[in-house]
Amino acid sequence: MMTEEIARPAGTIDYEARDGRAYITLNNPSKKNAMTDAMWDALMEAYDRAEADDDVRVIVLTGAGTDFCTGHDMAEVGNQYGPTTIDAKGRPRRPSQRARLRYDKKYVARFERIFTCLTPTIALVRGYCLGGGLYLAEACDLVIASDTAKMGHPEQKLGLSGAAYFDAWEMLTLGIRKARELLLMADVWNAQEAFAAGLINKLVSDDELTAKGEEWAERIARLPRDGITIGKSATLLAMNALGVNTQFAYGPVYHALASNMRWEEDEVNFFKQKRDKGVTAANKEREARYVVKDGDA
């Protein structure tokens, strides 16, 4: 079957269904598969389509090119809540907490959609898997990664500083200490570090990634359809009993608050730097801020 594009500006979500699988590919390789809002919406359409297809027993999620996904397109970050407006007295008026909560609720619901999909998902990860890209991998049932994988939450340096949409899942999976390290240090772990911590199920060489994904997908596709759905439903009930699903309720609230925080004079405000100097320069200043050299402490 021909691969179809769920077309959107600045990147696409490619969809192909065959042999009991749905292949969903994040296709924006020039930006390391960074996701625009339009791409997120298209991804949800792809998941709806796969779940509605009775012949699809497993979803394979991957990124085009050499990377999985670097999260939300930074060109859109900071503008997603709408523009600053001018009130009747001529004063600038930032987007309200109401507007922030509405957007963040929709944004978090996208990860919840994948997490609760009744069709199991295998993520095939190579290269960068960061921020929202890591949330995508965490939302999947299984992760197979190549030895080129680099996983982490560098977006914590934007001001979030230790909280994530998948906090509960990360604490359960990594243990509280490693989960706190992942977020507070905001380091990018190499493939071996991510595998040792528990972010990855199977680690293979880069040239083996596709074949291993096909092997695991085939093993799932041979299971009975009802069994797959009942098993995933029972898993979600168990997750709910453990309290994991609460992360999708608190996620929008914490993010709306964090995106409206006050920046002090001695702090690096990425959003101000992005406005004044552009995304690339702002990213460089952000990263330089957190490089600790001998004698700094």
pLDDT digits (tens, 9 = 90+) for 198-249: 999 999 999 999 999 999 999 999 999 999 999 999 999 999 999 999 999 9
On the question of pLDDT at 1 being above 60, the answer is no
CA 176 to chain centre: 20
On the question of pLDDT at 27 being above 50, the answer is yes
pTM for this predicted structure = 0.86
Q: Whose structure tokens read 């609760």? A: 116
Q: Which domains does the chain have, with CATH numbers?
A: 4-261 (3.90.226.10)
Helix locations, the chain, DSSP H: 37-52, 97-115, 132-139, 167-174, 176-184, 191-197, 209-221, 225-241, 247-258, 270-277, 279-289
> Furthest-apart CA pair in the chain: how many Å?
66
Which pLDDT score is estimated for 267?
79
Which pLDDT score is estimated for 9?
54
Amino acid making up residue 289: R
Amino acid making up residue 111: F
Residue range 94-101: mean pLDDT, rounded: 81
